[in-house]
């Protein structure tokens, strides 16, 4: 299966259903009143951390996660059906960011963790909610509210206890194959491992930890050399790091310089990784030249206060003792609340070159914005000056040329009076009609009350 640890996705929650405008129409039920029901709520978009997944491949192909809408309200006091939630399963260790500001929204760091990413819209109310003593037959209802829409970026950081780091061809894949059931590809050329691999290392029946094999690093990885430092994000959650070095016959390669280069790349990526508990081991101990080099470089590492180990994944020499020491470090880190809190914090300093480019781009954008604002302000001032000049010119023209009042002829005066009378009559007609209707209604009510009184008297 293809390994995908980063992807962009759009999430759209469901829209709420509209409220209904309806009335009861039943035999022998006069004036049944409003009976329009409410619309159903839209479905939510929910992420669930699935421990059985190890890649974001399924989410990558989805592009847009859209929850169903709520059903519209119906008559006879029937409410619309709510939209079902769209449940999307992601691997444990997935982080949810916004695409624009790259702001961390959620961290799915626990198995079966459930998070509502986008909430559906609320359904609108039907006309049955708007009935009052003064409006017993309302003909209005509410429309459903739209659901939330978000543009997100998902990043997967594998959940491992120990991160395995080193240059290409130092034996990382061979080491993880020797101590776990993982089977990454092993070959005699660099960059054989292209994606991270996880393996469960069992020390005893009740003692185990997870080891992550990270693709090889080379000097200049922070600037994009080799596979870059993209996969280093997978060791951010680890409790300890295992650096593997060995003897390489290529030019400018030495175990001490290799270790210093690895530490330098870690500092460029995240300063906190360089301070994490670390064990350094020299691999390929089954080769005589490696044993000779080990005797030469061990004092150099000792001056750096580093206990260099010598192991061989092919013969198993020193592997068991190294794994036990790693397990002790992991258990000590897990029991330290401060270390766990520091490990769970947001990522620290990332890629100095990337940060510099971001700052430069932001500065240029700010300068452009300020220049545009100044230009708009100058244009506004110029427009205001032109408007004032135009007003002054019109005022001067009006003073210089007074408008003469037109004289009305007798016929025109008669027509104006007739129009005024017609307008007054048209305005007075509705008032007179309403007054007449009110008087007729009072008479009818009085007559109806008299008839009811006479009926009661006859019954008595």
227-278 pLDDT, tens digit per residue, is 566 667 777 778 888 888 888 766 567 888 888 888 887 787 777 777 788 8
72-128 pLDDT, tens digit per residue, is 999 888 999 999 999 999 988 888 999 888 888 998 888 899 999 999 999 999 999
Percent of the chain residues past pLDDT 90, beyond the cut: 17
Taking residue 172's Cβ as centre, other Cβ atoms within 10 Å add up to 27
pLDDT at position 432 is: 74
pLDDT band at 194 (very low <50, low <70, confident <90, very high): low
pLDDT at 24 over 50: yes
pLDDT at 309 over 90: no
pLDDT at position 364 is: 45
pLDDT at position 43 is: 93
pTM confidence score:
0.60
pLDDT at position 222 is: 61
- Cα 246 to Cα 223: distance, rounded to the nearest angstrom: 24
362-409 pLDDT, tens digit per residue, is 444 444 444 444 444 454 445 444 555 554 544 444 444 444 444 566
pLDDT at 33 over 90: no
pLDDT at 353 over 80: no
pLDDT band at 46 (very low <50, low <70, confident <90, very high): very high
410-444 pLDDT, tens digit per residue, is 667 777 777 777 777 666 667 777 787 788 877 77
* Domains contained in the chain, CATH given: 6-156 (2.70.210.12), 162-350 (3.40.50.300)
pLDDT at 49 over 80: yes
């Amino acid at each position: 299966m293809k390994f995908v640890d980063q992807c962009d996705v759009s999430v759209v929650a469901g829209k709420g259903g509209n409220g209904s405008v309806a009335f009861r129409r039943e035999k022998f039920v006069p004036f049944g009143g409003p009976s329009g029901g409410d619309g159903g709520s839209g479905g939510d978009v929910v992420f669930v951390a699935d421990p059985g997944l190890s890649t974001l491949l399924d989410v990558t192909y989805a592009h847009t996660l859209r929850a169903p809408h709520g059903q519209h309200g119906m008559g006879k006091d029937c409410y619309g059906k709510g939209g079902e939630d769209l449940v999307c399963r992601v691997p444990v260790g997935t982080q949810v960011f916004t695409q624009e500001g790259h702001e961390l929204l959620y961290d799915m760091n626990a198995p079966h963790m459930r998070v509502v990413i986008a909430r559906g819209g609320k359904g609108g109310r039907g006309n049955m909610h708007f009935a009052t003593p003064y409006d017993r037959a309302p003909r209005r209802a509410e429309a459903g509210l739209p659901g939330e829409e978000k543009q997100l970026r998902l990043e997967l950081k594998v959940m491992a206890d120990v991160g395995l780091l080193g240059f290409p061809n130092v034996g990382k894949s061979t080491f993880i194959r020797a101590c776990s059931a993982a089977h990454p590809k092993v070959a005699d050329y660099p960059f054989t491992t292209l994606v991270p691999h996880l393996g469960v290392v069992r020390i005893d029946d009740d003692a185990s930890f997870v080891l992550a094999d990270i693709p090889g690093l080379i000097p200049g990885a922070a600037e994009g050399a080799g596979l870059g430092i993209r996969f280093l994000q997978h060791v951010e959650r680890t409790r300890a790091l295992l650096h593997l070095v060995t003897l390489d016959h290529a030019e400018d390669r030495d175990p001490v310089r290799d270790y210093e280069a690895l530490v330098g790349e870690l500092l460029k990526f995240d300063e906190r990784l360089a301070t994490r508990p670390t064990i350094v081991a020299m691999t390929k101990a089954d080769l005589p030249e490696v044993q000779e080099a080990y005797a030469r470089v061990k004092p150099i590492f000792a001056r750096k206060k580093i206990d260099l180990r010598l192991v061989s994944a092919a013969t198993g020499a020193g592997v068991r003792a190294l794994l036990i020491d790693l397990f002790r470090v992991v258990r000590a880190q897990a029991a330290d609340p401060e270390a766990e809190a520091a490990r769970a914090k947001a990522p620290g300093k990332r890629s100095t070159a990337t940060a510099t480019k971001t700052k430069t781009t932001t500065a240029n954008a700010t300068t452009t914005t300020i220049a545009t604002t100044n230009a708009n302000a100058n244009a506004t001032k110029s427009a205001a000056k032109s408007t004032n000049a135009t007003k002054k010119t019109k005022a001067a023209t009006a003073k210089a040329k007074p408008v003469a009042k037109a004289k009305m002829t007798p016929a025109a005066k008669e027509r104006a009076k007739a129009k005024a009378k017609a307008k007054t009559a048209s305005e007075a007609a509705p008032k007179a009609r309403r007054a007449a209707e009110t008087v007729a209604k009072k008479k009818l009510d009085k007559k109806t009350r008299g008839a009811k009184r006479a009926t009661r008297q006859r019954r008595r």
